[in-house]
């Protein structure tokens, strides 16, 4: 077996990102603090946590889409298929985006250009990254629309984004992301703005495309039900840090970090009972106001004195289940 077959497709190590002013002497706030996880070829990893935990910033940092300034990578590496994306020049990174790595953004209406037809926008990636002629690109665009389940593709290619429903716009975004058959698809809350029925269709579509094309997916979501059904592994983030990571079944069966346990307890259940749905008290601390120890300490039911003074490391076992906590859930 070759090295490329044994190493992870995506390997994020100690990724630390800060935001601040244009001057290097300006005060800066650490938004991501030592984020690390791996993603194997053909697998689906769910990146979960409350709003403000750093999930989208992680995705944007991987693809180097954050403006700099105000953002700055302080340390760490993002290796994709053996190449450190943070070390590439801008030209090489543009060649990577939309070609070997595709991305689906949260809200298609803010990502699609309202002044161009959807056909022009799907064709753009093919113009930039392939040597196909115009007729071949047109056939590929039609093929992509059929692939994502859009009927009457000739008519849809000539339409503008505002003429399509939310579900169709999201399918257009998926078609754009898949145009060059990427090895990795980053899906940032791909069903946030859609109704429940369309959400299920889009997620089933992504699962089917993963099996058909063999691509890996980094699925960013706050919906643990989606994670349970569609992901192989879970990475739980809190306040810019990874607090727990594990295969799906062990994490749902036995969460070790109190934050993960709180998220799971907050899920609606169908096993009867009409009691009050549990919640996690308090809010995620803002990047500039995080405590010196564990950032979850002020909200944690298992808090110790040590938690408020010392940051726990992410410690893993042989089963691939790792967590950062001084007093884990038994």
**58 within 8 A of 51, measured Cβ to Cβ:** no
Nearest to 323 by CA among 246, 238, 224: 246
Q: Which domains does the chain have, with CATH numbers?
A: 98-231 (3.40.50.300)
Look at residues 206, 303, 321 and name the one whose alpha carbon lies nearest to residue 254.
321
* Cβ-Cβ contacts under 8 Å for 210 (sequence gap 6 or more): 42, 44, 185, 216, 217
| pLDDT at position 270 | 66
pTM, 2 dp: 0.90
CA distance 99 to 126: 9
Cα distances (Å, whole numbers) of residue 277 to 102, 161, 263? 37, 39, 11
Q: Kindly report, residue by residue over 267-314, the tens digit of the pLDDT.
A: 877 665 556 678 899 899 988 888 889 999 999 999 999 999 999 999
CB 242 within 8 A of CB 65: no
**Which segments in the chain show pLDDT lower than 70?**
1-6, 21-26, 193, 270-276
Per-residue pLDDT tens for 199-227?
888 888 888 888 888 899 999 998 898 99
Nearest 10 degrees: Cα torsion 30, 68, 88, 127: 130
C-alpha 143, offset from chain centre: 26
Burial of 86 (0-12, 13-18, 19+ CB in 10 A): middle
């Amino acid at each position: 077996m070759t090295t490329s077959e044994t190493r992870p497709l995506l390997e994020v190590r100690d990724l630390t990102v800060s935001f601040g002013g244009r001057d290097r002497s300006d005060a800066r706030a650490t938004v991501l603090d030592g984020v690390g996880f791996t993603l194997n070829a053909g697998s689906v990893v769910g990146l979960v946590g409350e709003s403000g935990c750093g999930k989208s910033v992680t995705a944007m940092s991987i693809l180097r889409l954050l403006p700099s300034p105000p953002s700055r990578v302080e340390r760490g590496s993002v290796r994709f298929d053996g190449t450190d994306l943070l070390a590439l020049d801008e030209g090489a990174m543009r060649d990577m985006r939309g070609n070997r790595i595709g991305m689906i953004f949260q809200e298609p209406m803010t990502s699609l250009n309202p002044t161009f037809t959807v056909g022009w926008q799907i064709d753009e990636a093919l113009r930039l990254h392939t040597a196909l002629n115009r007729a071949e690109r047109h056939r590929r665009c039609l093929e992509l629309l059929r692939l994502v389940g859009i009927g009457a593709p000739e008519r849809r290619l000539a339409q503008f984004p505002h003429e399509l429903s939310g579900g169709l716009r999201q399918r257009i975004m998926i078609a754009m992301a898949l145009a060059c058959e990427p090895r990795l698809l980053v899906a940032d809350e791909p069903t946030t703005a859609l109704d429940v029925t369309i959400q299920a269709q889009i997620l089933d579509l992504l699962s089917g495309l993963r099996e058909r094309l063999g691509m890996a997916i980094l699925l960013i979501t706050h919906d643990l039900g989606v994670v349970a059904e569609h992901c192989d592994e879970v990475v739980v983030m809190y306040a810019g840090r990874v607090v727990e990571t594990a295969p799906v079944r062990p994490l749902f069966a036995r969460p070790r970090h109190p934050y993960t346990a709180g998220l799971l307890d907050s899920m609606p259940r169908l096993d009867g009972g009409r009691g009050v749905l549990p919640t996690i008290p308090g809010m995620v601390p803002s990047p500039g106001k995080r405590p010196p120890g564990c950032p979850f300490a002020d909200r944690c039911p298992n808090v110790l004195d040590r938690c408020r003074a010392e940051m726990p490391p992410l410690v893993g076992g042989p089963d691939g289940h790792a967590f950062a906590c001084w007093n884990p859930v038994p």
